Amino acid sequence: MKTIKGPGLFLAQFISDEAPFNTLEGICEWVASIGYKAIQMPTNDSRFFDLERAATDLAYCADFKATLEKYGLELSELSTHLQGQLVAVHPAYDELFDAFAPEVYHGNPQARQEWAVEQLMLAAKASKNLGLKAHATFSGSLLWPFLYPWPQRPAQLVEQGFEALAERWLPILDAFDAAGVDVCYEIHPGEDLHDGATFERFLAAVDHHPRANILFDPSHFLLQQLDYLAFIDRFHDRIKMFHVKDAEFNPSATQGVYGGYESWVDRAGRFRSLGDGQVNFVGIFSKLSQYNFDGWAVVEWECAIKDQEQGAREGAEFVSKHIIEVTEKSFDDFAGVATDAEKNNRLLGLSTSDK
């Protein structure tokens, strides 16, 4: 067994225009001061990370890592969540998702999608240049408007949707394979890959590509009322990344998993800071350790109630307390005895002639 690394912090919810969150050095100093050992870096803000330069300039990559090391930090992974979303967008969401791309691509879905694919290709090269082994992203979605089977879906609509999604992702997966980096899709509502069944559909469509893997975030599974511990048992060989994020689900007479169009704070299912929700992290850390997951435990802070800085401070301590330093011995080694074939035969009631 292997020991999970951590705690790390995903910076997407913390980058801002206010100090210390408006510069790489400022945010690194803050992250280290509250107990984190790594950062997971979004790639959509060049003030902090220049994706194109990292894909082509080894000196830039060395300087970036040196800045982190100055504060005792490592880079756990890069993230292209926003760009990955744009690899596949149903037209119903075109205007909403334009905000994820530079303004020059707004109103031009084809150009926006081409830009997103190029971003992923750059991320493969940048990850290799930085010595990373995994990359975080979203799958995007062509089928999400048809999630609920009413009105009745035409025959083969779902199959064709996954074929089209796979066609878009296969060249990207091949590029990451050439770079020696796993693509870790965050299994997330709003994506075509939002649960185990949809991940298996996608995996079949990409012919079980070795680089098609999972960013495991149990908060999304709790809100769907999915068995996230059994998910680890089923998909542990594809889980290459871990977001530590809490959630709670409190169904009522007026709400269930769909939330009644309510705001986050008023939904039956909502994200919470670590320790304030219902996710069984003792079980999760045990399962992941059992299956030799040795990646980073990365806190993703999202909460409808608690302040983000408090959530981040508490999150570092929460993860540190949950990481299991795996044993290299068996608990009953003290009672062990040497192998004795003749004694074993006697205990089994076997004689030499029975062998």
Q: What is the pLDDT of residues 132-169, one digit of tens each?
A: 999 999 999 999 999 999 999 999 999 999 999 999 99
Classify residue 271 by burial, with Cβ atoms within 10 Å: 0-12, 13-18, 19+.
buried
6 vs 323: CA distance, rounded Å: 8
| CATH for the 5-330 domain, from 3.30.420.80, 3.40.50.970, 3.20.20.150, 2.40.100.10 | 3.20.20.150
In 3D space, the residue among 38, 95, 69, 33 whose CA is nearest the CA of residue 309 turns out to be: 33
Q: Could you tell me which residue, 329 or 332, shows the higher pLDDT? A: 329
Percent of the chain at pLDDT > 70 equals 97
* Position 327 confidence tier, pLDDT thresholds 50, 70, 90: confident
The pLDDT score that the predictor gives to residue 339 is 84
Classify residue 52 by burial, with Cβ atoms within 10 Å: 0-12, 13-18, 19+.
middle
The pLDDT score that the predictor gives to residue 354 is 61
Cα dihedral value 292, 236, 131, 188, nearest 10: -140
The pLDDT score that the predictor gives to residue 328 is 77
Question: pLDDT by residue (tens digit) across 38-73?
Answer: 999 999 999 999 999 999 999 999 999 999 999 999
The pLDDT score that the predictor gives to residue 14 is 98
Strand partners, 38: 8, 74
* Position 331 confidence tier, pLDDT thresholds 50, 70, 90: low
Does residue 352 have a pLDDT over 90?
no
Domain boundaries, the chain: 5-330
Does residue 265 have a pLDDT over 80?
yes
Contact 168, 88 (CB under 8 A): yes
* Position 334 confidence tier, pLDDT thresholds 50, 70, 90: low
CA 179 distance to own-chain centroid: 19
* Position 31 confidence tier, pLDDT thresholds 50, 70, 90: very high
Does residue 182 have a pLDDT over 80?
yes
In 3D space, the residue among 159, 176, 233 whose CA is nearest the CA of residue 210 turns out to be: 176
Q: Do strands 239-244 and 134-137 pair parallel, antiparallel, or not at all (unpaired)?
A: unpaired
The pLDDT score that the predictor gives to residue 338 is 79
Residue with tokens 């993703």: 300
* Position 204 confidence tier, pLDDT thresholds 50, 70, 90: very high
The pLDDT score that the predictor gives to residue 351 is 76
- CA distances to 21, 23, 70, 112 from 18, rounded to whole Å, are 6, 9, 22, 29
Percent of the chain at pLDDT > 90 equals 92
pTM above the 0.75 mark? yes
| Average pLDDT over the chain, rounded to an integer | 96
The residue ranges of DSSP E strands in the chain, in sequence order, are 5-10, 38-42, 74-80, 134-137, 182-186, 212-216, 239-244, 246-249, 269-272, 296-299
Tell me what the mean pLDDT of segment 198-211 comes to.
98
The pLDDT score that the predictor gives to residue 277 is 98
Question: pLDDT by residue (tens digit) across 238-252?
Answer: 999 999 999 999 999
* Position 295 confidence tier, pLDDT thresholds 50, 70, 90: very high
Tell me what the mean pLDDT of segment 274-288 comes to.
98
Tell me what the mean pLDDT of segment 75-104 comes to.
98
107 vs 112: CA distance, rounded Å: 8
